[in-house]
Chain A
Amino acid sequence: MNASAAKPHKKRIQTVLEHASGDKRFKILEVHMKKHQFRQDALIEVLHKAQELFGYLEDDLLLFVSVKLKLPPSRVYGVATFYHFFQLKPQGRHACVVCMGTACYVKGADKIIDAIAQKYKVRPGETTADNQLSLLTARCIGACGIAPAVVYDGTVTPRATPESALEHINQWMTQ
């Protein structure tokens, strides 16, 4: 690696570490890494904690993790982009996850997605323009007995319909 390419990289790491020292969340994340003895194979657990603390995994956060775990940034970025669970973009104030497992699909989950997408002008995997709502799909949350299942901000609700989903989201929007 030629020296002139290394310099901006080192400077960015400096900036990231300086910024981190002023934000308590980075300290909590570092404690979590220490709990796993800073082992490189704990990367996925660390990224889970990072997403829990920061809401999403932005580039500087990934750089911080790579420095602390002594991993190449490309490796950390590669893992963060591989798994569906990790969000690399900021999320909306509320998250609505519609399960698209087979049982939920057979019971009309796609109609629920269409209804929400149409009313709030947002596609699955995206956030509304006003940052209020993120519409996500899950491939199966294992709640097939109560299909169709929808998760509103972490709470699983049973036997959803397009009407009940729109009503729930409407309540969020008017709060």
Chain B
Amino acid sequence: MIFNDLIAIKEKEIAGRKKIVLRCCLAAGCMSSNSKGIKEQLEKAVAEAGLQNEVEVRGVGCMKLCCEGPLVAADPQNALYVRVTAANAPSIIAALKGGKADAAQTDPNAPFFAKQHSIVLANSGSVDPERIESYIAADGYQALHEVLHEMTPKEVVETMVKCGLRGRGGAGFPTGLKWGTVAKSPGAKKYVICNADEGDPGAFMDRSVLESDPHSVLEGMAIAAYAVRADQGFIYVRAEYPLAIARLQIAIKQAKQMGLLGAGIFESPFNFNVDLRIGAGAFVCGEETALMMSVEGKRGTPRPRPPFPAESGLFGCPTLLNNVETFANVPAIYRRGADWFAGIGTEKSKGTKVFALAGQIKNTGLLEVPMGTPLRVIVEEMGGGAPNGGKIKAVQTGGPSGGCIPAQHLDTPVDYESLNKLGSIMGSGGMIVMDDSTNMVEVARFFMEFCMDESCGKCVPCRAGTVQMHHLLDKIASRQATARDLKKLEELCDLVRNTSLCGLGQTAPNPTLSTLRFFRNEYEALLQPELHGNGEIKKPTVTT
């Protein structure tokens, strides 16, 4: 496969396209509402109307407005049908020739769509994830060719440093620095791992990227492997994502068949193979050292660092580990340049971020916005605010490692530093909106129960600490706790945060600390007075 072959495939694919395209979302959410059956009905209706030469019915990835699924879009009409049923099919086909279909529609230019800036999700909803030709037609694999033939590994690393991309898994570590460290590490065998464990409850950005545009991740991994001189890649996918696993298997097979994975890619000396490793339901395996243990077929328990995976990781070799969304950004950066990417976002947080907006919000789904966008724009303008006239109380970011941003801080821009200042974190992108009906103590208890269940058990602070903190939160929630219990809880939070071995334990107290910071009154309202031995209420001591 040489460059001209790639362009020939692109041109053939585009030439073969028909004037009218009906895009049907085939990501997991819409599939659960039978979007596959709807696609078949649409194909049948096209055949019955004799329009096979004019209309293409294409299965595509996530079309972002998940709460209104199944979604079907008609190009070039620019119509977006929502909550489509099989019965709507004939009417939608008839409307292609003029007139209005007997199916619910939504405005494709509404703020939810118009205010998005698509880099990671650029192909999601337009490319067919099960056909590599569709990805190539969208300029896929051109960045990889450019990198292999026009750049040295050192130059590839320099570009990544210059563009300012930070890890999208949650920690926000500078990606260029990570690539540079692995590149410099000595060793003949190196690995590239894609963390597709996405364990944060409420996050589905990575799932959507894998189901909708798997090749962007493969291409990103290949470019990274070239930069750090690795020849073997693994994608660690959680078992709860069967559709993502299937789409990845198809993508890897098709890339191998075309010589875009394997030996001598694009007739260069670069070899790169990618294998899948399936998780088995352990949140802690999203932590990089635990993930590597899992890839090695062991219990997923983390280990202290140093040594860092960049020096000694999988099977003791230097390993580059990045998140799905981080890799999905890579092809665009090399196709359009570091300066282009650095021009989006803020001073310290470049590029865009994909958020999975869910909870008590009208428009549930995926949105990709430039870093620095105010939360209010995301939640009120794009998300449409709380449903049924409710008022937004807080926005939770960062999953079980994160915190709640209360309504009075909704003008906060979304970037790594601003969210850290408010006691939360960017996290992987899960954003849960809570309204007045949400009990914040319950939220803290919910997240602590999660951490308690998912603790690997290796270190005492997390293993025992999460149990004790959960017990105290339970006691508070059921109105059986005193001010002394609350003080004990705060002390425990401090202890567990500072002494746990890995990020799970270190961040487990975050939701509690965050809700205590902004919603302390809800905790205090549930406290009972301390009693003397004879049942008399003790006078409260001065609380600090």
A interface residues, tally (CB under 8 Å): 39
* A142 at interface by CB-CB < 8 Å: yes
Tell me, in angstroms, the Cα distance from A25 to B334 when the chains sit together. Answer: 48
* A105 at interface by CB-CB < 8 Å: yes
Q: Are B446 and A105 in contact (CB under 8 A)?
A: yes
* B108 at interface by CB-CB < 8 Å: no
One of B203, B297, B434 near A44 (C-beta < 8 A):
B297
Q: Are B297 and A43 in contact (CB under 8 A)?
A: yes
Q: Are A106 and B297 in contact (CB under 8 A)?
A: no
Q: Are A146 and B283 in contact (CB under 8 A)?
A: no
Q: Are B281 and A84 in contact (CB under 8 A)?
A: yes
Tell me, in angstroms, the Cα distance from A146 to B450 when the chains sit together. Answer: 21
Interface residues of A in 76-122 (CB under 8 A from B): 78-79, 82-86, 100-103, 105-107
One of A83, A145, A146, A158 near B282 (C-beta < 8 A):
A83
Q: Are B240 and A79 in contact (CB under 8 A)?
A: no
Tell me, in angstroms, the Cα distance from A41 to B294 when the chains sit together. Answer: 8
B331 to chain A, nearest CB (A): 23
Tell me, in angstroms, the Cα distance from A100 to B450 when the chains sit together. Answer: 10
Q: Are B67 and A145 in contact (CB under 8 A)?
A: yes
B309 to chain A, nearest CB (A): 16
Q: Are A102 and B365 in contact (CB under 8 A)?
A: no
* A29 at interface by CB-CB < 8 Å: no
Tell me, in angstroms, the Cα distance from A138 to B238 when the chains sit together. Answer: 12
Contact with A along B351-388 (1 / 0, CB 8 A): 00000101110001110000000000000000000000
Interface residues of B in 287-309 (CB under 8 A from A): 294-300
Q: Are B241 and A139 in contact (CB under 8 A)?
A: no
One of A40, A105, A142, A157 near B198 (C-beta < 8 A):
A142
Q: A32: which B residues are within 8 A, CB to CB?
A: none
Q: A155: which B residues are within 8 A, CB to CB?
A: 32
Q: B279: which A residues are within 8 A, CB to CB?
A: 44, 83, 85
Q: B67: which A residues are within 8 A, CB to CB?
A: 145-146
Shortest Cβ distance from B202 into A: residue: A102
* B396 at interface by CB-CB < 8 Å: yes
* B37 at interface by CB-CB < 8 Å: no
Interface centre among A101, A106, A107 (most CB of B within 10 A): A106
A148 to chain B, nearest CB (A): 11
Tell me, in angstroms, the Cα distance from A138 to B201 when the chains sit together. Answer: 10
Q: Are A139 and B454 in contact (CB under 8 A)?
A: yes
Q: Are B297 and A144 in contact (CB under 8 A)?
A: no
Q: Are B358 and A144 in contact (CB under 8 A)?
A: yes
Interface centre among B202, B356, B399 (most CB of A within 10 A): B202
Q: Are B432 and A103 in contact (CB under 8 A)?
A: yes
A50 to chain B, nearest CB (A): 12
Tell me, in angstroms, the Cα distance from A45 to B450 when the chains sit together. Answer: 25
Q: Are A83 and B201 in contact (CB under 8 A)?
A: no
Q: B207: which A residues are within 8 A, CB to CB?
A: 142
Given the contacts A83-B282, A145-B69, A156-B28, A103 and B277 also touching, CB distance less than 8 Å: no
Q: Are A102 and B282 in contact (CB under 8 A)?
A: no
Tell me, in angstroms, the Cα distance from A48 to B503 when the chains sit together. Answer: 27
Tell me, in angstroms, the Cα distance from A142 to B66 when the chains sit together. Answer: 11
Q: Are B280 and A48 in contact (CB under 8 A)?
A: yes
Shortest Cβ distance from B314 into A: residue: A41
* A13 at interface by CB-CB < 8 Å: no
Q: Are A101 and B297 in contact (CB under 8 A)?
A: no
Shortest Cβ distance from A75 into B: residue: B298
Q: Are B432 and A106 in contact (CB under 8 A)?
A: yes
* A140 at interface by CB-CB < 8 Å: yes
A138 to chain B, nearest CB (A): 6
Q: Are A100 and B201 in contact (CB under 8 A)?
A: yes
One of A75, A103, A146 near B201 (C-beta < 8 A):
A103
Q: Are A102 and B430 in contact (CB under 8 A)?
A: yes
* A141 at interface by CB-CB < 8 Å: yes
Tell me, in angstroms, the Cα distance from A107 to B293 when the chains sit together. Answer: 35
Given the contacts A48-B280, A83-B282, A143-B32, A138 and B240 also touching, CB distance less than 8 Å: yes
Q: Top 7 A-B pairs ranked by shortest CB distance?
A: A145-B66, A101-B201, A83-B280, A103-B358, A85-B281, A84-B281, A43-B297
Q: Would you give 10 A-B contacts (Cβ < 8 Å), ordered by A?
A: A41-B295, A100-B201, A102-B446, A103-B202, A140-B200, A143-B28, A145-B356, A147-B359, A157-B32, A158-B69
Residue numbers of A with Cβ under 8 A of B are 39-45, 47-48, 75, 78-79, 82-86, 100-103, 105-107, 138-147, 149, 155-158
Known: A44-B280, A158-B33. 5 other contacts (CB 8 A): A83-B282, A101-B202, A106-B359, A143-B29, A146-B67
